[in-house]
Structures are given as structure tokens and as C-alpha cells.
Chain A
Amino acid sequence: AQSVTQLGSHVSVSEGALVLLRCNYSSSVPPYLFWYVQYPNQGLQLLLKYTSAATLVKGINGFEAEFKKSETSFHLTKPSAHMSDAAEYFCAVSAPVKAGTALIFGKGTTLSVSS
């Protein structure tokens, strides 16, 4: 069965510092992996996705993630944090359900950015 584990429920960084949010996955098939961001009182917005085309995936707002099969990881990074990056971040993996596809989400990581 597919699952993801997000290490660290809360990450705090200073503005301009490196952002690193950790995600490990478990999948019985080659995984499709996603990172979503959720701002307060809003739905989820896709940051980036891995679909096996390239192991280093670039997303919106300067975020990127690297797929490492040997480590079963898909960590999200950004070189320099902005105040506007403060939000909840979710890692997710696609899972087959009957004839369709579900997203299986981690519990999320809250990113705080201080000035």
C-alpha cells in the first residue's frame, strides 16, 4: 500500500534561509509524488509533481524536490525563504483505488518564517 511520512510537523526558518521539508514514501509500484501548499482557510495548491521524467523537479515559487529511490525520499527545498512561504505543506503519493486514483497525504508540515 502507498503511504507518505512527513518528518517534522513544524519547521521554523529565518527569512532568506534554506527551507527543507522532509517526505519519505512507501509504494508497491513506481510512485507518482506531489507537494501541495495550503494557506490559511484555503484549498490546496500544487507546488510540483514527480512523474518519473526527471529526478529533480522544479515547481512554482522557487521550490524544487529531488526524488531519491534509494532513500525512498522526496524532500522539498527552497534556497531562500520568503515571509509569504509561511503555510502548511503536504506531501502526497498517488494510489490506485478500484478503477481510479486517490492521493494519499502526509500529516503536513507547518512552515513558519521569521524576519
Chain B
Amino acid sequence: TQLLEQSPQFLSIQEGENLTVYCNSSSVFSSLQWYRQEPGEGPVLLVTVVTGGEVKKLKRLTFQFGDARKDSSLHITAAQPGDTGLYLCAGAQGGSEKLVFGKGTKLTVNP
């Protein structure tokens, strides 16, 4: 059983389009992180959200943490080919350093 479900699994869009990817769970998390991973490299942290209902913006990327701290979304405005990659969400529970990762959304932005 996957603790964090990400959807969609694959997404292929044209440059300039908007998109939203989702990270859902039946469990509560004390914090949730979003990472981006490019081929041949390790995941790189984009953002950490810790408060229910929190919204964080990183240029064209908007991250939201659900009110109940069970789900999160990532919205990209005017996607660019450089946004191509695997987007992973990861949750921490309690005071633990352990992260549980979703399987990721593989995004391809075509020029």
C-alpha cells in the first residue's frame, strides 16, 4: 500500500500550458516536501509546507498543503521545457526524520 498517491503518473503538455499535479494520502503529515528529479540525478528539494492550508509560490510554481495536512498540490503556470522532470512529494510524520515518498509524476513539456 502506497502511503502517498501521486497523480497523474505521466503528463505530457505543450509549452505555455498550465498544469496541476496532486499528492494524496489518508494519513496526516507534519510536513510535506516537493522534489524535482532529472534523469541521472538525485531529487532536489523545491519547497517544504508545514501548515494546513499553506500556499507557497516559487516563481511559476504554486504549492498548496491541504487544510487537514493529508494532501498537497503543485500548480505550474505557463510551463516551459525546463520544467520537464519527475516531481516527487514526500511526507514526514510526527518528529521523525523519515520521509515517505510518492512514486512521482513524470512531466514532459514539449517546445
Chain B binds chain A: no
What residues make up the interface of A, taking CB atoms closer than 8 Å to B?
none
